[in-house]
Structure 1
């Protein structure tokens, strides 16, 4: 479908912000090498049959992507490098260089269609001080809306990783607080040492199950480490209607109160979630999950997203337009909250 000058009249205007891309050079290499495609697919917990058409869309920024957006009423998309991105590059200097290359490439795509696209920065936390500098360049120089981090950052090799609550990343968080932009915490598979649970079950380690549990655990580390006391203006975004956390938040708080292991926090976990965490609808088009999220975190902190091209724009749009919520909440989630958080102008 070709994009037209106006959106489908009946469609509710939407902003989407967990929408992936891959550099076309890498897409071409993977599609030309069945073994490489199979390896990347396995690492992400998907089959090559699923991933081939996804790869074809990841490297495309024109008629297909824009047409799909237009048909779904998605007026604006914030693009980000697909997982695992630069977080998986073991060599620190190479990771830093790759983050800069990806950000420059993404800025070029945004510049071609600033009415439709914005960007989240890729950053290489393998070198935290350089990551802070690249974040500053991406926000103040390239005009990006925030940063997306694909889970833990590999340290030295694929067997070891660092999580965002660790002190080594404080310089990065200080810069993020100064710039006052959100961080989107995106999933990736668990470190190899944590994959024993999935032995013989490759279908479990990706988006089917493992992504959500890994990202939820990463978030709980931030919550229980005192991160939000140390950096109280943090704006953290989670996809997939909160990676299961809304349903587990009461129990996590309850059991932490009984077993704090000497930790002392300034607020309860629900209070931190209310003040510091936003969640998106990406890839989780469930009425029950949405209603639970509204009751747990509030409609003001829920944002529409699709997870394109891993999920399709049309299905996400159809769902949010008929979900059993008030029209006021529907409009907040579809575009109002994102406009407030990111300053996106829908024209």
Structure 2
């Protein structure tokens, strides 16, 4: 399928890329990962090969959220937003961007988001989980605290989505949970385990009730949440937890109909996607890859193009849902919505996709 949109795709400032990549890869791998994070312009040929029309860029994790000094965190946000805006301005038909913000000060975050959206043209904002704070970086600031209502009000007013993304745990959490089981840290399990608590905290704190226009997006097939919806709603007992600020007539499932969206980033499981569609409907799911942490664009693209889904679902998940949510049909991106299946060449990677995609989730 041509015309796909992907929206959990990372970059880093060139001055930081290789050093920060060492947190996620071997010494040799960090060199390659750092180069991939720093190279935005060089992605277009691979996008063309994979049938990807638009890539939405975001400052890689932890970004500003990993900087415990408020002044330095804000400087990084401003630098990142100015940098990526120039990249988008040079090629708006292929790139869009999420803004970065420091979340030390909700008012400052709201102000920088407004600047990034109104002046620089960002189509949303990336939050890399909690904000590190304190002298040793071990204080975690979470955005379900009522002090962040100023930020959420601005998000609603600007009518742009928030993409919330995982990050590595603080040293305190790492020492308690992961030091003796390092392999479960980060993307194997820890990312989803930690971020899902934050997402559910935002929902159960009543953010979506106070600001019903807020749209929250998260990746990796929903950070485990779609597959636990029944149990979540069954166990969120209002009598037991009368202090829970979420509206008493709402469930987490309700918010998936009005405020929550997921992407397929870094989770190319056909069965999981089918389960997510059954739980949420295809209207709340968007295709993404998680480049460059997933190696290249073809694996995810060939998997997607070979999916046993209806053509309307493929178009919705692969293109239309993101186009609508991010308003990519507006200047300067001017993407066309409602393209025909012929124009999108549904199955355009089909021959490759069938041979590669069949390896996924095949029964033993």
User: TM-score, normalised to structure 1's length?
Assistant: 0.90
1:23 paired to 2:13: yes
Distance of 1:66 and 1:303 partners within structure 2: 20
Q: Do 1:12 and 1:334's aligned partners in 2 also have CA atoms closer than 8 Å?
A: no
Aligned match of 1:232 in 212, 229, 245? Answer: 212
Q: Where do 5+ consecutive residues of structure 2 fail to align?
A: 329-333, 337-364
Deviation at 1:258, TM superposition (A): 7.2
Deviation at 1:291, TM superposition (A): 0.6
Q: Where do 5+ consecutive residues of structure 1 fail to align?
A: 1-10, 31-35
What is the aligned partner in structure 2 of residue 184 from structure 1? 163
What is the aligned partner in structure 1 of residue 140 from structure 2? 161
User: 1:44-79, CA deviations, whole angstroms, 9 ceiling, x for partnerless residues?
Assistant: xx444443321110000123x111111111101110
Distance of 2:131 and 2:74 partners within structure 1: 12
1:285 paired to 2:278: no
Distance of 1:191 and 1:73 partners within structure 2: 38
Q: Do 1:12 and 1:321's aligned partners in 2 also have CA atoms closer than 8 Å?
A: no
Distance of 2:263 and 2:27 partners within structure 1: 27
Distance of 2:285 and 2:273 partners within structure 1: 9
1:314 paired to 2:314: no
What is the aligned partner in structure 2 of residue 146 from structure 1? 124
1:248 paired to 2:228: yes
Deviation at 1:259, TM superposition (A): 6.4
1:125 paired to 2:103: yes
What is the aligned partner in structure 2 of residue 137 from structure 1? 115
Q: Do 1:96 and 1:127's aligned partners in 2 also have CA atoms closer than 8 Å?
A: no
Distance of 1:174 and 1:284 partners within structure 2: 32
What is the aligned partner in structure 1 of residue 342 from structure 2? none
Aligned to 1:24, what secondary structure does the other structure show?
coil
Q: Tell me whether 261-270 or 200-209 shows the greater mean CA deviation.
A: 261-270
Q: Do 1:198 and 1:204's aligned partners in 2 also have CA atoms closer than 8 Å?
A: yes
User: 1:16-58, CA deviations, whole angstroms, 9 ceiling, x for partnerless residues?
Assistant: 1000000111125x2xxxxx764x33xxxx4444433211100
What is the aligned partner in structure 1 of residue 195 from structure 2? 215
Deviation at 1:241, TM superposition (A): 1.0
Against the structure 1 CA distance between its residues 259 and 243, is the aligned structure 2 distance closer, same or farther, given a 3 Å change threshold? Answer: farther
Against the structure 1 CA distance between its residues 222 and 260, is the aligned structure 2 distance closer, same or farther, given a 3 Å change threshold? Answer: farther
Aligned to 2:164, what secondary structure does the other structure show?
strand
What is the aligned partner in structure 2 of residue 305 from structure 1? 288
Deviation at 1:190, TM superposition (A): 2.6
Q: Do 1:121 and 1:138's aligned partners in 2 also have CA atoms closer than 8 Å?
A: yes
1:346 paired to 2:330: no
What is the aligned partner in structure 2 of residue 8 from structure 1? none
Deviation at 1:93, TM superposition (A): 1.3
Distance of 2:77 and 2:267 partners within structure 1: 29
Q: Tell me whether 100-109 or 259-268 shows the greater mean CA deviation.
A: 259-268
Q: Do 2:256 and 2:284's aligned partners in 1 also have CA atoms closer than 8 Å?
A: no
